[in-house]
Each structure stands twice: as C-alpha cells, then as structure tokens.
Amino acid sequence: MKNTRCIQLLSLPFFLALVFGTVHGQTRDHLTPQEVELVQESQLLDKRTDVFIMAIQRRLLALNGTQPSNAKQLQKEAEKWGELPTGSKAELIGDIARILDEAITNLDDVSYHDEKSPLLAKSLRKLDVTAEQLVTQLTPISEQSSNPGEVSSANQALENARSIIDAAKKLPPPSEAEKGKGKTKKVKG
C-alpha cells in the first residue's frame, strides 16, 4: 500500500505537467485546414513548395492588411485556400517562420532519400525568391519593433530565410532544361 502511494505521488507531478503543458502549451497551427489539405494532396516537392510559398504570401497579405485587387480572384482563392489567416503580427510572422521550417524539412527529406532529384534545385530556387522578399520585409520589423513576440518571430523567420538563401547560393547554375521549361518549341511542318 505504501508503494502504491509513492507511485501516485511521483506520478502526480508528471500528470500535472502533462495536463498543464497540453492546455497551456498548445501552439497555433501555422497552416489553415485548407492549406494542410493542399500540402497533403501535393506529393511532388515542387508542388508542395508552391503551396508553402502561397501560404507565406497569404500571411504577408494579412500582415499588410491588403486583399487581392480582383474580387473574383479573392472568391476563387477563398474557395481553394480558405479565408486569409488571422492573428496578431507576431502570430502571422511566427506562422511564416514555421512554414519556412516545414519547407526546409521537406527539402531535407527529399535530399536524404534522393539527392539527385531535379525537384530539389527547382524547389530551392522558388523558395529562394520568397526568402529574399521576406528578408526585405521582415528585417525592419526585427530591428524596429518594440514587441518582443514580433522580434522573436521575425528573427526566427529571418534565420530560416537566410538558411534557404545560403543553400540556394550553393546550387549550380540552372540547367538548360530548367531555363527553357517555360518556352514552347515551334513545330515544323
């Protein structure tokens, strides 16, 4: 009986920590349910990267308080992507940091399994463009905000963006196939 009481007393702090951590440690989802669904549907790395980039762009729209100028475009996007995400500036920037982190994890995973995948360079180049934009937009927030949450979130997003930029610098020049992908060939006949 004494052993049972000791086990109960020893497990009480663990149980309280588990309950307290579950209730108070819940984090905000960095992707909306529609975005999660789009990520899950996008099995190819470059398509999944496109989803991450669009999710980042949507948070930037929410941060800047802007809407797409075309009402039809807004309605079409809402049907596919859901409403623009909401939250504080710190939360939206934190979402961006976590989306970048997830994109990096996806790149790392594909690299681990197939380091010669042509989708790696393609996806990294796409992310590089977005990362460059983020550095431009988030650096002033990191340097000028008086809100510690905003500064912390901006610094994490900037760290992730800079790691993408650094990795992209190590890529070889785009291949002819990458350069000419958007061009159409004329058929002789």
Cβ atoms of residues 112 and 136 within 8 Å = no
Residue with the larger pLDDT of the pair 12 and 128: 128
Cβ-based neighbour number of residue 142 at 10 Å: 18
Q: Is the dihedral of CA 168, 49, 55, 70 positive or negative?
A: positive
Per-residue model confidence (pLDDT) at position 79: 80
For residue range 94-136, what is the model confidence (pLDDT) as tens digits? 999 999 999 999 999 999 999 889 999 999 999 999 999 999 9
Question: Is residue 52 within 8 Å of 4, Cβ to Cβ?
Answer: no
Q: How many CB atoms lie within 10 A of CB 79?
A: 9
In this prediction, residues 17-34 reach a mean pLDDT of 61
Residue closest to 135 by CA, chosen among 176, 93, 170, 104: 93
Pure H helices in the chain:
2-24, 33-41, 45-64, 71-81, 89-113, 118-144, 148-169, 176-179
Cα 139 from chain centroid (whole Å): 18
36-53: average pLDDT = 93
pLDDT in tens, 136-162: 999 999 999 999 999 999 999 999 999
Query: Residue 158 has what DSSP assignment?
Result: H
CA angle in degrees (0–180, nearest 5) for 55-59-61: 115
Q: Among 24-28, 42-46, 57-61, 159-163, whose mean pLDDT is lowest?
A: 24-28
Contact (CB, 8 A) for 42 and 51: yes
pTM: 0.77
In contact, 138 and 158? CB cutoff 8 Å: yes
Left (φ > 0), alpha (ψ -120 to 50) or beta: where does 82 sit?
left
